[in-house]
Amino acid sequence: MMSDIEPGDLVTLRGLGNQEEKPVGIVKRSLGRKTFEIMWINEGLATRFALVDMAKSHRLEILSKADQKSD
C-alpha cells in the first residue's frame, strides 16, 4: 500500500484500473479527517464522473507522489 495522500500528489479515483480514460487531479490541500481538496486536471472527465473539488481518501488512488525523497 502506498503512503498517505499529501498536497501535491497526483491522484485518480480508486477502482478504475481497466478504464482507458480516468480523471486525474492534483491534491491542493488536506481539509482534515481524510478529506482533500482536489484540482481535477482533465475537466471533461471530471464532469463525466460528476466529481466535485473535495474527495475522501478512501475514494482516491495515488498515481504519483509529489515528494519522493528517500530517508
pLDDT of residue 70: 56
pLDDT at 68: 62
The 10s digit of each residue's pLDDT in 34-59 is 999 999 999 899 999 899 999 999 99
Beta strand 60-64 pairing with 24-30: unpaired
Q: What are phi and psi of 7, to 5 degrees?
A: -55, 135
Under a CB-based contact definition with an 8 Å cutoff, are residues 33 and 10 in contact? no
CA distances from 68 to 1, 52, 71 (A): 15, 27, 10
Q: Answer yes or no: pTM beyond 0.85.
A: no
Q: How confident is the model at residue 33 (pLDDT cuts 50, 70, 90)?
A: confident
